[in-house]
Structure 1
Amino acid sequence: MRAWKWLGLAGILAGVATGAAIARDERVRRHYDAAEIRERLHRRHDEAVAREAGDPPPAG
């Protein structure tokens, strides 16, 4: 029975750690301004189009 208690505690701690990591990532993501987000999305789109066409990704 003691092992189940440790397993339960480990599961709870894993859930807390996952929630903390998600919250940290969300805070980092919200610090982008609109221009930075737009530029990153355009760059990712250009890379995806180049990958579809078989071209090397654009530099920069």
Structure 2
Amino acid sequence: MRWWKVLGLAGVAGVAATGVVIARAERRRQAYTPDEIRARLRARLEEPSGEPAEPEPKIVGPADRAP
């Protein structure tokens, strides 16, 4: 076989593997009921996040400036 045929077959195999992965993820996503999705979203919302929503502004006054 020529190298371009091998490359073409590898490309076809890659496209097929990607399709399998996408189909599997879609099946897993569609398996949830609407109530399960709501419960998961609410649980995620109630989890504390690692960073604050907005950083507190630092107020610089005359005493903070170097002479």
TM over 0.5: yes
Matching of residues 1-60 of structure 1 within 5 Å: 2-47=2-47, 50-53=49-52
Structure 1 letter corresponding to 2:8: G
Structure with higher helix content:
1
| TM-score in terms of structure 2 length | 0.64
Structure 2 letter corresponding to 1:52: E
Structure 1 residues not aligned, in runs of 5+: 55-60
- Corresponding residue SS for 1:53: coil
| Higher RCO by CA contacts (8 Å cutoff, separation 6 or greater) | 1
In the TM superposition, what is the alpha-carbon distance from 1:39 to its structure 2 partner? 1.3
In the TM superposition, what is the alpha-carbon distance from 1:21 to its structure 2 partner? 1.1
- Corresponding residue SS for 2:50: helix
In the TM superposition, what is the alpha-carbon distance from 1:15 to its structure 2 partner? 0.4
Note the aligned Cα RMSD (angstroms): 1.8
Structure 2 residues not aligned, in runs of 5+: 54-67
Could you say which structure has the larger radius of gyration? 2
- Give the number of equivalent residue pairs: 52
